[in-house]
């Protein structure tokens, strides 16, 4: 009797996975799509079993989630964002193609997590989703180094050095090279992000 419950749960997970694979014949890749601001965008592929294009039973849409906000981009064959839209929809019910193309990269508009959704319009609570992540690459500003002392120091003195870089996406990481050309141990410095800048403190 102790083994019945785990087996039952396993069967449910397997059945859900099988159903989802029946819905999407092509999904976006799991790795993030890296794009650069000002450049041409990227295609987020989503090909759906054609039976789900029946609007009397299902709704198909693309949604974007970023900074805690959910934005609907498409609904069935309609592109919901009209003004200054940076998206185009490749919609073909005969092939099941429902891919979303980012036509122009602008960080605030296109960065985030995207969901290609198939939702049942009846009382079945059917909902399937294929996910894609878009990251807009922005180079960080030149690093600026400052110290707690503007005068010469001697061996054994305590000194703190700070390196600051403004901007950057993803958030930049830091490595410190000591005067003897060795890398400082990560235990010797801390890094934090605040007010749009990344700051590393070596002490």
Q: What is the CATH number of the domain that holds 89?
A: 2.60.40.10
What are the tokens at 145?
A: 């180094």
Comparison of pLDDT for 134 and 83, the residue scoring more: 134
Domain closes at, from 137, 158, 188:
137
Q: Is the pLDDT at 146 greater than 50, yes or no?
A: yes
Domain presence at residue 159: yes
Q: Is residue 109 located within the same domain as residue 65? A: yes
Q: Is residue 47 located within the same domain as residue 95? A: yes
164 bridge partner residues: 144, 199
pLDDT for res 13: 35
Q: What does R_g of the chain's alpha carbons equal in angstroms?
A: 25
Structural domain of 40: 25-137
pLDDT tens digits, one per residue of 183-193 = 988 888 889 88
Residue 192: strand, helix, or coil: strand
pLDDT tens digits, one per residue of 150-192 = 667 677 677 788 899 998 888 888 999 988 899 988 888 889 8
Q: Is residue 170 located within the same domain as residue 121? A: no
Banded model confidence at residue 107, pLDDT cuts 50, 70, 90: confident
State the Cα angle at 124 between 45 and 77, rounded to 5°: 35
pLDDT tens digits, one per residue of 39-67 = 888 999 999 999 999 999 999 999 999 98
pLDDT for res 81: 85
Q: Which residues lie below 8 Å from residue 7, measured CB to CB, with a gap of 6+?
A: none
What's the chain's average pLDDT? Answer: 85
pLDDT for res 150: 61
Domain closes at, from 137, 153, 170:
137
Q: What is the total count of domains within the chain?
A: 2
């Amino acid at each position: 009797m102790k083994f019945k419950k785990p087996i039952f749960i396993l069967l449910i997970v397997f059945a859900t996975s099988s159903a989802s694979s029946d819905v999407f014949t092509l999904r976006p890749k799991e790795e993030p799509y890296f794009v650069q601001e000002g450049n041409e965008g990227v295609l987020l592929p989503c090909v759906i079993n054609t039976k789900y294009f029946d609007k009397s039973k299902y709704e198909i849409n693309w949604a974007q989630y970023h900074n805690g906000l959910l934005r609907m981009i498409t609904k069935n064959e309609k592109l919901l964002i009209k003004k200054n839209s940076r998206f185009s929809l490749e919609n073909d019910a005969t092939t099941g193609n429902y891919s979303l193309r980012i036509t122009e990269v602008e960080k605030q508009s296109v960065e985030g997590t995207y969901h290609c959704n198939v939702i049942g319009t009846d009382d079945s609570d059917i909902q399937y989703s294929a996910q894609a992540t878009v990251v807009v690459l922005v180079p960080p500003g030149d690093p600026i180094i400052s110290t707690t002392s503007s005068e010469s120091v001697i061996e054994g003195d305590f000194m703190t050095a700070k390196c600051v870089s403004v901007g950057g996406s993803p958030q930049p990481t830091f490595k410190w090279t000591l005067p003897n050309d060795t890398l400082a141990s990560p235990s010797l410095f801390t890094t934090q992000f605040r007010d749009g800048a990344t700051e590393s403190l070596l002490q």
